[in-house]
Amino acid sequence: MKDHQDDPRYLKGGPVKDRILSDVNAYVKAVGHVGKLVSVSIGDVPEVAVYVRNQARAAQKANLPFDQQLWGGEITQEECKALIQQMNDDPEVLGVILQRPVPEHLNIRSLQSAIHPLKDVEGMNPASIGNIVYNDVAMAPCTAAAAVELIRETGLDMEGLEVVMVGHSEIVGKPAAMMLMAEGATVTVCHHMTRSVAMHSRRADVVIVAVGKAHLIGPDMIKPGAVVIDIGINQIIADDGTTKLVGDVDTEGVKELAGWITPVPGGVGPVTVAILMRNAIRAHARQKEAGWMT
């Protein structure tokens, strides 16, 4: 059996990540001083540490200063907002990354809204998401932008492409659909109230899935030759009792039909982190345009 690393049907995120980080590094070297990215983790959440580690590594490759802050789990909403405001006002802070999840007593949306849109490198401020409606995708949510980047990687012409987005979350499904419409694709969005997801997905040139249900999409739901972008990350117990990560797609079954498919892990994830760094230099360019720096 062919090793999946060599299988040409796999749309691997690693090479795309490396290319984006190389571009960011070149920008930082050309500009010189760009300020620092500040990662904020609130409370002690073990899974957050993994994200922060990956972001710190990517920032190092991109030559971006990366400051990790850990705020106590008892911090109040008002204290969080005051600290965010200080970072908004600090010319040395290029962008703010608010790690999720946050403690239950905090309102994440309100905190994301408090980050100035020009420092919102994650693209989570409602203003950043709203800009996508006007085809301004410079600071788009990173996972949605990563999905679009991987579709572009296939070389297919976006104009007129038939895309089905399964999942309509505010940070992935909806912005990804808007970004693809901005590229000229015809987009259908399916969700838990859609009567037959398969009826839609079977006619699609591209299927993007982000719902958090292991192996939701099987080979009977995919058109031969389609692009399948799997954003889901689910932990399942394998037959031998070990825990493994799988996506929302039955990868082994679907890859026999698909023209391209993203592996999990190693597909969308690495590109998402790279997009975060690309958003950082776009934030720098916009801050400069706004006269925030000389």
Each residue's pLDDT tens digit in the chain (294 positions)?
A: 344 557 889 999 999 999 999 999 999 999 999 999 999 999 988 889 999 999 999 999 999 999 999 999 999 999 999 999 999 999 999 999 999 999 999 999 999 999 999 999 999 999 999 999 999 999 999 999 999 999 999 999 999 999 999 999 999 999 999 999 999 999 999 999 999 999 999 999 999 999 999 999 999 999 999 999 999 999 999 888 899 999 999 999 999 999 999 999 999 999 999 999 999 999 999 999 999 875
Segments of 141-283 assigned E as strands: 162-166, 186-190, 206-209, 227-230, 234-237, 243-246, 260-261
Q: Which CATH class is domain 31-118?
A: alpha beta
Phi/psi-derived region of residue 291, left when phi > 0, alpha when psi is between -120 and 50, beta in every other case? left
Q: How far is CA 74 from the centre of its chain?
A: 28
Which among 231, 64, 223 has a CA at the least distance from the CA of 142? 231
Query: Distance between CA atoms of 40 and 84, rounded to whole angstroms?
Result: 10
pTM, two decimals, is 0.94
Q: Where are the domains of the chain?
A: 31-118, 142-269
Beta bridge pairs of residue 229: 208
Q: Measured between alpha carbons, how far is 89 from 83 in angstroms, rounded to an integer?
A: 10
∠ CA 171-234-74 to the nearest 5 degrees? Answer: 60
Q: Is-same-fold flag (31-118; 142-269)?
A: yes
CATH of domain 142-269: 3.40.50.720
